[in-house]
Amino acid sequence: MRKKLQLGTLLLLAVGLVLLPKLSPFFIVFVATEILILGLFATSFNLMFGYCGLLSFGHGAFFGTGAYVAGLLLQHLQWDFFWVLAVAPLAAALVATLIGCLCVRLNEVYFSMLTLAFGMMIFAIAHQWRSVTGGSDGLAGFPLTRVGLGLDLVLANPFHFYYLTLVIVGLSLAAIYTLTISPFGLILRAMRENSERVAFAGIPANRYRLYGFILSGLFSGLAGALFAAFSRVAVPEMAHWTQSAEPILMTILGGSQFFFGPLAGAAVFLGLKTLITSYTSEWMIYLGIILLGMVLFLPKGIFGLFERWLGGRT
Amino acid sequence: MLRKLLVMTIVSVMAIGVSLNARAEGTVKIGAIYLLSGAFSTYGQFAKNGIELAADEINASGGILGKKIEFLLEDSTGKANVAIQAARKLVYQDNVDLLMGLDSSGVAKGLVPVVPELKKPFIITHAATPDVTGSLCNKYVFRIALNISQNTKAAALIAKELGVKKWTTIGPDYDFGHQSWEFFGGYLKQLDPEVVLSADPSFPKFKAEDFTPIINKVIADKPEGVFISLWGGDLINFIRQANNLGFFKQNFKILMSLGAATEVLTALGDQMPEGIWVGTRYWFAANDTPTNNNFVAAYKKRFGDYPSYNSQGAYAAVYAYKAAIEKAKSFEPDKIIAALENLTVDTPSGELLIRAEDHQAVVNGNWGITKADANYPIRILDPIRIFPGKDITPTPAESGCNMK
Amino acid sequence: MTAFVAALLNSFDIGILLFIIASGLTIVFGVLGILNFAHGALYMTGAYLLLTLMRTLEIPFWMGLLLAPLGVAMLAVAIERFLLRRIYHRHPSFGLLLTFALLLIIDDTVRLIWGSGYHIVEPPPALRGAMSLFGVTYPLYSFFTIAMGILIGVAVWLLFHRTRIGKTVRAAALDPEMAQAVGINVPLVLTLVFGFGAWLAALGGALAAPMRTLGPAMGDTIIIESFIVVVIGGLGSFPGALLGALILGGIHGFGGRWLAEWNIVLPYIGMALVLLWRPEGLMGRR
């Protein structure tokens, strides 16, 4: 019965998202696109946090790499967007492999600090390497190419972009979900609970963590590439630790122990920000107060509220 | 069910928010994007002051073609992607007619290519990167403020007169600092080929709190001239620390391209050394015209301080829009744009021509030597050197703008 | 030679200030297990309180230096008592979220109260001017800061290792249950320690005020620098904070002079090297 409820909810949500552009004011399409992209970023971050128990403070490195590679490919080579979306995440995965090799050996707060350090190194490269990355201004004004694959979509059209994002994010979330319920995902979860035991069972814990890290980096890079096309820019701040803090915030808000928690957190966070800035330019204090309230009164995040009905804990 | 509830709740609340923002009939809406939070939020506040003053004055005398001005502020937070989303919100959700803004050159470079999608005119009042009316120029974007090429050309003219040959720079380590040095060096070399530009210029980290290592380094390098493009909080920190280390008692010439900014002079008070060449984008005491005198008096009365260049820029932009709309007798974006081209606007900064070829205003440069004066709580400029806009503004071809 | 001496003095100057601030962060982490994101905001509040005391109430610098940190400490005690206490038993990530929310609130409140403009605070007349040392002219106030830092460092160390209060705090940190069992009022200890950590941050802010411009969000860079110091030195280690701070001070003093383009990345490289070689920090306990 619960399964039917979950499936039903999912279907309803999917229908709602597909119909969104027809039903909502024009600007909401932009907000929804941003929520989907950052929701993907947060969900892939949560692969490490919720499932492995490792809080990465440097995921902006992968997000930023995805954004810059996408920007560079569009600016210099004008590839079809489909190929950009194929290659940029791979670049991010490569960076994740290099960083991951060094980070997964560490635990807890040390892992967090080392990922922060590496994230900031990527930021520094983006900021200082003026000739390639455009320095502090980043990349801007790159063309939005055709999508390719014979699809007649114009990326500059917000509706087309929204639907493209919806499909890509949907497929990515499905892929990540499949991972989490696979034996691989179970091992990750086991490591969160007791990594010594996992090692005793003969499983090379660090190697699995690394795989998780690389996959997490891959999807974060995909989100970054989408974001670059959406925002029309790739800037160093996308690799800064303050950017890395956003998926963390969204995940905790939504509930790290639920698969859709990060996405819900992204919706709430961005929705709140959009709402607050409509009324006042003093958004920081109001956002802070609301976050404070959520921390004090919503211990398991938004999803925790509905835990009973939805089940589906990781 | 509950996730759906959540999403629907958010969507409906935002929809309500949208309907609340629907335009009241009979107003002309201006959307302004500035730095409203963070370390440089003072500039956003200045811009807000300028817009408020202009809007109130214009509304008091009947508005623009009978419609009152209403303005909305958005925070760019210094990030291009945030500014772009804010611009989309202003145009699509809040239905603004006109756009203005931008403190950060980096944000400008990101936002300017996107403005044509929004199909509204955008006047830039602060961001100084030449690219905005140069390589990135497009028909929707205008700039009413002094840009890097203009300011550094004036600086180079002064440098030539000072006669010294070995120059170095201290600038923030991001594109603004690097571009300021590139343009200054380029212009100076053109004016005086014997000039030697340092191979090891100093670019301390932007928003660094401590400039002591750089100050010591420059003193040790013994240049003949130092061109300083630090600004805002950085410049204040730098000057105080430099005072302590005897920087201003060395015998090299100093040019500070944004040293006459009122927020810097106000914060420093008599810590600001005298006898230094400083520049600014607008100097409140440079023009003895009714427009300027009225502006300065009204600003001082309302906000308690002499107007900063950012306030003047925002004020001038609102008046520029007014002039263009009245000339075009229409609120349609294309007609406003056509009216802005080759328009001469009377601003506190003087009579500015907004060029049709690159949409850059031919603004006068303001430099002067700092001096104490009992009549003012801050250092003032005496003598003041005004560089006519036509002497310091590159031709549209030189600026790299190719709008057609 | 003078360049070396100048860089050395500069490193000490920056380092000692960072030590005072970061030691507050590390003590709070060591005893409460919370990494306080709002630590930089407390530093900023200390500086702004000093500004108001000196400018509006015309209290002399020395009094202000005493009172401003106390004011911030009281604010911190309130924060701990009413907010922080509720999330001790929860997942550490909530501590991050809570202190991040506090950071937003404190940053914006300061801006709303004092405005977004820039302000400067003058050092007291006794400490103005400069002194010459080995051919290098250096501001007197910087020597004062270095002296204060050493004084505070020694005083705090003595407090923790030679007094009863110190023993109580260390006991509460090591084993809260046992400490409670022997009659130590652990919740009170936690409150006081958080207040003390904030006091150190605010003292750093008040000391820094005559040397740095006061402006919105001035605490934002401080928080990341404090993290780096604390990681390099060892989370929870007080002498580690000194070592880490001096190292970071050295990176700024020497790197800022000779490797300016690497300015952004050097501290992070330092942090990464320490984490890869000795994750618990140079002076942390294994």
Q: Are C17 and C9 in contact (CB under 8 A)?
A: no
Contact flag A140-B80 (C-beta cutoff 8 Å): yes
Q: Is the pLDDT of residue B14 over 70?
A: no
The CA angle C123-C125-C131, to the nearest 5 degrees, is 85
Residue that wins the pLDDT comparison between B74 and A192: B74
Which H helix or E strand runs over A117?
helix A108-128
Mean pLDDT of C95-102: 88
- The per-residue pLDDT for B1 is 45
- The per-residue pLDDT for A308 is 56
- The per-residue pLDDT for B179 is 92
Q: How many CB pairs under 8 A join A and C?
A: 98
- The per-residue pLDDT for B19 is 46
Helix/strand/coil percentages in chain A, nearest 5: 80, 5, 20
Q: Which of C210, C214, C59, C236 lies closest to C148 in space, CA to CA?
A: C210
Give the orientation angle of helix A2-23 with respect to helix A26-46, to 10 degrees: 140
Q: Is the pLDDT of residue C177 over 90?
A: no
DSSP per residue over B102-144, as a string?
-S-HHHHHHHGGGHHHHTS-EEESS---GGGGTTT--TTEEE-
Mean pLDDT of B135-142: 93
How high is the mean pLDDT of chain B? 90
| Residues 114 through 173 of chain B touching chain A, CB cutoff 8 Å | 114, 117, 129, 136, 173
Q: Are C102 and A292 in contact (CB under 8 A)?
A: yes
CA distance A5 to chain B (A): 8
Widest Cα–Cα separation across chain B: 77
- The per-residue pLDDT for B137 is 92
> What is the ipTM, given to two decimal places?
0.89
- The per-residue pLDDT for B24 is 54
Residue of A nearest to C279 (CA): A110
Residue B113 is nearest to which of A25, A135, A232, comparing CB atoms?
A232
Contact flag A26-B80 (C-beta cutoff 8 Å): no
Q: How many CB pairs under 8 A join B and C?
A: 115
Chains linked to B by 3 or more Cβ pairs within 8 Å? A, C
| Chain B residue numbers touching A34 (CB-CB < 8 A) | 85
What's the pLDDT tens digit per position in C184-236?
888 888 999 999 999 999 999 999 999 888 998 888 888 999 999 999 998 88
Residue C71: left (phi > 0), alpha (psi -120 to 50), or beta?
Answer: alpha
CA distance B1 to chain A (A): 5
| Chain C residue numbers touching B237 (CB-CB < 8 A) | 212-213
Contact flag A231-B106 (C-beta cutoff 8 Å): no
- The per-residue pLDDT for B337 is 94
What's the pLDDT tens digit per position in B219-275?
988 999 999 999 999 999 999 989 888 899 999 999 999 999 999 999 999 899 999
Those residues of chain A that have pLDDT short of 70 are: 1-2, 300, 303-314
pTM of the prediction?
Answer: 0.90
Q: Are C49 and C68 in contact (CB under 8 A)?
A: yes
| Chain B residue numbers touching A310 (CB-CB < 8 A) | 2-3
Residue B117 is nearest to which of A156, A277, A278, comparing CB atoms?
A156
Widest Cα–Cα separation across chain A: 59
Residue A135 is nearest to which of B7, B37, B174, comparing CB atoms?
B174
- List, in order, residues 6 or more apart from B397 with CB less than 8 Å away: none
| Chain C residue numbers touching A237 (CB-CB < 8 A) | none
Main-chain phi, psi angles of C60, to 5 degrees: -65, 160
Alpha carbon distance, N-terminus to C-terminus of chain A = 19
Q: Is the pLDDT of residue C162 over 90?
A: no
DSSP per residue over chain C, as a string?
-HHHHHHHHHHHHHHHHHHHHHHHHHHHHHHH----TTHHHHHHHHHHHHHHHHHTS---HHHHHHHHHHHHHHHHHHHHHHTGGGGTTS-HHHHHHHHHHHHHHHHHHHHHHH-SS-B--PPPGGG-SEEEETTEEEEHHHHHHHHHHHHHHHHHHHHHHHSHHHHHHHHHHH-HHHHHHTT--HHHHHHHHHHHHHHHHHHHHHHHTTTS-B-TTTTHHHHHHHHHHHHHH-TT-HHHHHHHHHHHHHIIIIIHHH-GGGTTTHHHHHHHHHHHH-TT-TT---
Is C225 in CB contact (< 8 Å) with chain B? no
Question: Token digits for A114?
Answer: 């080392």
The CA angle A188-A189-A194, to the nearest 5 degrees, is 95
- Per cent of chain B over pLDDT 70 is 94
- The per-residue pLDDT for A95 is 96
Widest Cα–Cα separation across chain C: 60
Residue of A nearest to C95 (CA): A295
Rounded Cα–Cα distance for residues C43 and C68 (Å) = 10
Residue of C nearest to B205 (CA): C263
What's the pLDDT tens digit per position in C40-74?
999 999 999 999 999 988 889 999 999 999 999 99
